[in-house]
Structure 1
Amino acid sequence: MKKIHYLSILVATAFSMKNLHAQDSTAIFKPKTVLVEEMVGNKRQFLQFMVNKVFVEKKKIGLLSISSYAADYKDNLGHNEFQNTTLIYHHLYKGISINSGASFTSVEGLKNFVGLQYMYQSNTLSLIYMPSYYFINSNKISNFGLIEYRPAINENWSVYSRLQLHYNHNLENGNHYRSYAYSRLGLTYKYFSFGLAHNFDRYGANKNVKNNYGVFLKLTL
């Protein structure tokens, strides 16, 4: 549980970077994001696809879907990974929403969850934080956090940085189940971001580690 507390502290620290309580962030900036990123690393390739869109603005209902694929350079399908989380959220107040959805992985299959969500987006800062409880065919809690910081250099260029975190805890046996920390640092030119990338993945109660260093290219629409 300490890991969950650490992640919560990290996200709370990120909140202090901006005055997020002045106005309703969802009313200022309607999420309309499509993101595609490919990472070529020293151990394996990684592809991530993300869609975030409010599609019934009067009711403040949105769709968030995050998919990722990872495969090593050896012809071994057993080492390939697929993860997808798709949810519907309803905005309540100042970027806070309730959500419900399903997650699918190549190891566990399909599992349903409910949770809360905090979302903030501006020209330079994006933040998503989601604590969730998995209640069907599973008994787990998870924390997901994503922080992007993009300070402008000039009209077309900006610095790009991202930290994406996930921690999944098995309540039945009290063990770590799955976690990762993905970091990016580079530049953005208009819709394209590129630079250095690091993926740190851990699996199971023994926390087996996969480290992957490389470069990334991301398109944001």
Structure 2
Amino acid sequence: MKKIHFSSILIAAAFSTQNLHAQDSIVNFKPKTVFVEEMIGDKRQFLQLMVNKVFVEKTKIGLLSISSYAADYKDNLGNNEFQNTSLIYHHLFKGISINSGASFTSVEGLKNFVGLHYMYQRKTLSLIYMPSYYFINSHKISNFALIEYKPSINENWSVYSRLQLHYNHDLDNGNHFRSYAYSRLGLTYKYFSFGMAHNFDRYRADKNTKNNYGVFLKLTL
């Protein structure tokens, strides 16, 4: 937990130095991000793919899809995890969009949701915040946030830091259902980022915990 707090403080401190202006997020709203990341940890392997693209710029309709896979090093399929969240969004104003989509997990299967999200994307700083309401089969609310801070060192190199947070609350039972905090700290060379990684996962009402420390390699297009 101390390492989580340390990484979070580092990223928050860097984030606070950036002068954010809401009007900047409306100019040329054309988010285009595809990244794939692999983490080799002490307990298990983790892979994440994210696609964020506006398909129709005049109407500002886009797709956001986040997929992740996790598997330990033992031959036990029950410990493997898969999750995909895919949604279509329509940008309204100042980086704020409405969305609707579906999420699939290896535990719950398919579930539909509606929600909002805020998106800010620049060379040095990017932010996604997405509150959602799940209404099929069960009733849940979730919050997702992703912050990347990449201050430049020179033309090809920059510092890379990321904090990715998720919390899912079960409204039917009034309990915690799923949450995680993923932190990254390293360097970026052109399209590649690499460095130290930590994944902190919690499950169900009893908040069963999995910690995973390791290294990561990320490709951004």
User: By the TM > 0.5 criterion, same fold?
Assistant: yes
Counterpart residue type for residue 21 of structure 1: A
Residue 28 of structure 1 aligns to a residue whose secondary structure is coil
Counterpart residue type for residue 150 of structure 2: R
Q: Match for residue 132 of structure 2?
A: 132
1:175 maps to 2:178: no
CA deviation profile, 1:97-116 (whole Å, cap 9, x unmatched) = 00000000000000000000
Q: Match for residue 34 of structure 1?
A: 34
Residue 197 of structure 2 aligns to a residue whose secondary structure is strand
TM, length-normalised to structure 1: 0.92
Counterpart residue type for residue 94 of structure 1: K
Gapped regions of structure 1 (runs ≥ 5): 1-9
TM, length-normalised to structure 2: 0.92
Is 2:29–2:95's contact at 8 Å kept on the other side of the alignment? no
Residue 27 of structure 1 aligns to a residue whose secondary structure is coil
* Aligned-partner Cα distance in 2 for 1:26–1:89: 15
* Aligned-partner Cα distance in 2 for 1:47–1:182: 12
Q: Where do residues 110-125 of structure 1 align in structure 2 (5 Å cutoff)?
A: 110-125=110-125
Identity among equivalent pairs (%): 82
Q: Match for residue 214 of structure 1?
A: 214
1:30 Cα deviation from its structure 2 partner: 1.3
* Aligned-partner Cα distance in 2 for 1:98–1:27: 18
CA deviation profile, 1:188-209 (whole Å, cap 9, x unmatched) = 0000000000000000000000
Q: Where do residues 82-97 of structure 1 align in structure 2 (5 Å cutoff)?
A: 82-97=82-97
* Aligned-partner Cα distance in 2 for 1:65–1:216: 20
- CA root-mean-square deviation: 1.7
* Aligned-partner Cα distance in 2 for 1:115–1:97: 9
Is 1:38–1:218's contact at 8 Å kept on the other side of the alignment? yes
The verdict on how the C-alpha distance between 1:121 and 1:80 changes in structure 2, with shifts beyond 3 A counting, is same
Q: Match for residue 204 of structure 2?
A: 204
Aligned residues: 210
CA deviation profile, 1:101-158 (whole Å, cap 9, x unmatched) = 0000000000000000000000100100000000111200000000000000000000
1:87 Cα deviation from its structure 2 partner: 0.1
* Aligned-partner Cα distance in 2 for 1:138–1:149: 35
* Aligned-partner Cα distance in 1 for 2:214–2:199: 9
Q: Match for residue 194 of structure 1?
A: 194
